[in-house]
Amino acid sequence: MKPMKFAKVSEAAVTRAIVGGFAKEFSEYTESDCLIVGGGPSGLVAARDMARKGLRVLIVEQNNYLGGGMWVGGYLMNKVTFRSPSNRLAEELGAKLKEVSPGLFVCDGPDITSKLIAAACDAGVKFLQLTSADDVVLRNNRVEGLVINWTPVRALPRQITCVDPVALESKVVIDASGHDAVVAEKLASRGLIKLKGFGAMDMVASEDAVVEKTGEIYDGLILAGMSVATAHGLARMGPTFGSMLASGVRAAEIAALLIGSRAHVKREAVSVGD
């Protein structure tokens, strides 16, 4: 390979490209079809499926990386498992799976996680990393957006953390934040819903139940992934990820229906007004 001759670009031009690109996209996504809190497997799948339908989707992720715990699997060993038939969802992403016993498949965490992130990006999903969901936008007893702030703000001493958050609006919010269920917790703290807390380990029961219970817990708020377990008192499951993908698929289907029904109601209202 011949030595590269890089283009002559100034430091100021690089800064302008970063600031200008971020500011333009951030401004465009102050309003979206769906805000998803959590860029783990369930959030990424939901975002990918919705973006493929032409919907405007933004993922808010408190870490600087996407993928959640799927990178490192269990006990810091970077293998993740899938039970049939969820292996098909992983294989559709292009991940290489190996069946190690009847119905149990294993693959490399970095392999499937990188492919899932790429699939979301290719579908047109946008991201805000190092961003925390501090609260919800609540109007007429409906969740209509998120209050966000930079995650590092939480690490500052209280006496210098006078950093006001900003708000984003959306037609639907999906809480895919894992066991913390951070968005649902904001409603629970106000007595609007009750969270039962997740139970002890029972993988077989939990995976089926998480997918079954994925859905709208409050007007405008859908739960996906392990936030479902926290809300409904379901068992924890450990490093098996089939239900995370399946829950994301189901959450996207429900969100798309809600967005469609809201658009229909809005059109009817306009027609009546005319």
Residue with tokens 């996906």: 224
pLDDT of amino acid 266: 58
Residue 1: per-residue pLDDT: 83
**Is the pLDDT at 273 greater than 80, yes or no?**
no
What pLDDT does 65 receive?
97
Give, in order, the Cα–Cα distances in Å from 146 to each of 13, 80, 139, 157, 174.
33, 32, 12, 24, 11
For the chain, give every domain's residue range.
Answer: 24-74+110-266
Closest CA to 137 of 192, 186, 195, 191: 186
pLDDT confidence of residue 158 = 77
pLDDT tens digits along 39-63: 999 999 999 999 999 999 999 999 9
- pLDDT score recorded for residue 155: 84
Segment 104-124, tens digit of pLDDT: 999 999 999 999 999 999 999
Q: How many CB atoms lie within 10 A of CB 216?
A: 17
Res 116: pLDDT: 98
Share of the chain above pLDDT 70, in %: 96
Instruction: Find out whether 127 and 66 touch, Cβ atoms under 8 Å.
Output: yes
Instruction: Please compute the mean of the pLDDT values over residues 248-254 and round it to a whole number.
Output: 98
Task: Give the pLDDT confidence score for residue 270 in this predicted structure.
Answer: 45
Q: Per CATH, which fold does 24-74+110-266 belong to?
A: FAD/NAD(P)-binding domain (3.50.50)
Range 70-79 average pLDDT: 94
Position 90 pLDDT exceeds 60: yes
**Mean pLDDT value of segment 243-266:** 89
pLDDT of residue 263: 64
Cα dihedral angle (82, 84, 87, 92), rounded to 10 degrees? -160
Beta bridge partners of 106: 81, 98
pLDDT for 190 equals 97
Render pLDDT for 211-235 as a digit per residue (tens, 0 to 9).
999 999 999 999 999 999 999 999 9
**pTM passes above 0.85:** yes
Q: Residue 274: which pLDDT band, with cuts at 50, 70 and 90? A: low
pLDDT value at residue 269: 47
